[in-house]
Structure 1
Amino acid sequence: MEFDFINVGIAEFGVSEAPNILRTILGSCVGICLYDPKSKVGGMSHIMLPSLKDSSKSMKKYADTAIPMMLEDMERQGAARGRVNAKIVGGAKMFSMSENSVMGEIGNNNIAKVKEVLKGLSIALIAEDTGGNYGRTIDFYLDTGKVKIKSMGREERVI
């Protein structure tokens, strides 16, 4: 079976269908994997920041704008919103910061906002691998909906 690896960069998202595999590398950013198990259409978003606060041209970098945009793209490719579930990965605290530093909380803020947006869209969060102080590489297999997580010095996980 032929498939494509589709790399999803920072502040981007990708939407495809089985048998393709979506991939990204995460630190404090959060990877959101949305999946419709019937159509086998999935999307992966690489969220950089929680909310759009200005008229930024890069709406794909924010949880509150990227997730709904990605869901609309999935629907155009045959996904049904009522069947879509979510898995989230990342949101690590990558750098030690002073106690009052906003930068040290980016990962946690991203995770919280992603969960809020998913809840607002009535999308079930069925699995997560978040937090910690280490980066992750994730592969999202659109034939099964499984997400493989690799981190330096840690066992590979599948959610």
Structure 2
Amino acid sequence: MIQQTVIKVGMADLNIAMDGAILKTTGLGSCVGLTLFDPIRKIAGMAHVMLPSSDIAREATINLAKYSDTAIPELLDRMLAQGARIERMKAKMAGGAQMFAMSGQSETMRIGPRNVESCTAMLHRFRIPILSQDTGGSVGRTIEFNSNNGILSIRSVQFGIKEI
């Protein structure tokens, strides 16, 4: 049996993987698990994005992985430093759920949908196509992204495991 390396990506965290390693993050509710893949170099990246924009940051030193507008450029920089090419990148996303139903929801309470919209806009800005996504709804997800083949495995209590 071949032992695969698993690289954990925490909340408001990001990392890259190569050589068949697996990127894994848990606890995706309103957060988005954004993945990027260069299929030629087999370089994978994952960001666990918590919030749509760093404009709302209150911390003195911004955690670049926390916001979609800073996490995606940082993830791209790390992948490009390892030899990936932006014109070969493909994206997949999971998460962005609306975990709590509230009547008369204000825009600020739509964190999950806003995270998805913000990630989509950033990818569009870099001209990176989104191959597939499993976003929205009201379920939590755990994802694993394979750096060998770019398969994103999504697990939820309600729907079991699916691959995109």
Q: TM-score, normalised by structure 2?
A: 0.92
Residue 72 of structure 1: aligned partner: 77
Q: Paired residue for 2:139?
A: 134
CA apart distance, 1:56: 4.6
Unaligned runs of 5+ in 2: none
List per-residue Cα deviations over 1:80-117 (Å, max 9, x = no partner). 11101100100001112232344531000000000000
- Structure 1 ranges of 4+ moved more than 4 A: none
State the alpha-carbon separation in 2 of the partners of residues 29 and 56 from structure 1: 21
Query: 1:90·1:129 contact (CA, 8 Å) conserved in 2?
Result: yes
Kept in 1, the 8 Å contact 2:96–2:111? The answer is yes
1:37 to 9, 16, 39: 39
Amino acid of the residue matched to residue 94 of structure 1? M
Counterpart in the other structure of 2:7: 6
Rounded to whole Å, the distance in 2 between the matches of 1:153 and 1:121 is: 34
CA distance in 2, matches of 1:52, 1:154: 32
User: Aligned to 1:116, what secondary structure does the other structure show?
Assistant: helix
The residue type equivalent to 1:140 in the other structure is: F
How many residues are treated as equivalent by the alignment? Answer: 159
Q: Percent identity?
A: 41
Q: What is the CA–CA distance in structure 2 between the aligned matches of 1:37 and 1:21, rounded to whole Å? A: 15
| Residue in 2 that maps onto 1:24 | 25
Contact preservation (8 Å) 1:27, 1:92: yes
Q: 2:55 aligned with 1:50, yes or no?
A: no
CA contact (8 A) 1:30 1:110 kept: yes
Structure 1: unaligned runs, 5 residues or longer: none
CA distance in 1, matches of 2:109, 2:103: 8
Residue 29 of structure 1 contacts residue 107 of structure 1 at CA under 8 Å; is this kept in 2? yes
Are the counterparts in 1 of residues 139 and 158 from structure 2 also a CA contact under 8 Å? no
RMSD over aligned CA atoms reads 1.3
Q: Which amino acid aligns with 2:82?
A: Q
Any conservation in 2 of the 1:18–1:143 contact (CA below 8 Å)? yes
Q: TM-score, normalised to structure 1's length?
A: 0.95
User: Which residue matches 1:155?
Assistant: 160
Q: 1:56 to 1:105 in 2, by over 3 A?
A: farther
> Aligned pair 1:61/2:63, yes or no?
no
Partners of 2:38 and 2:89 within 8 A in 1: yes
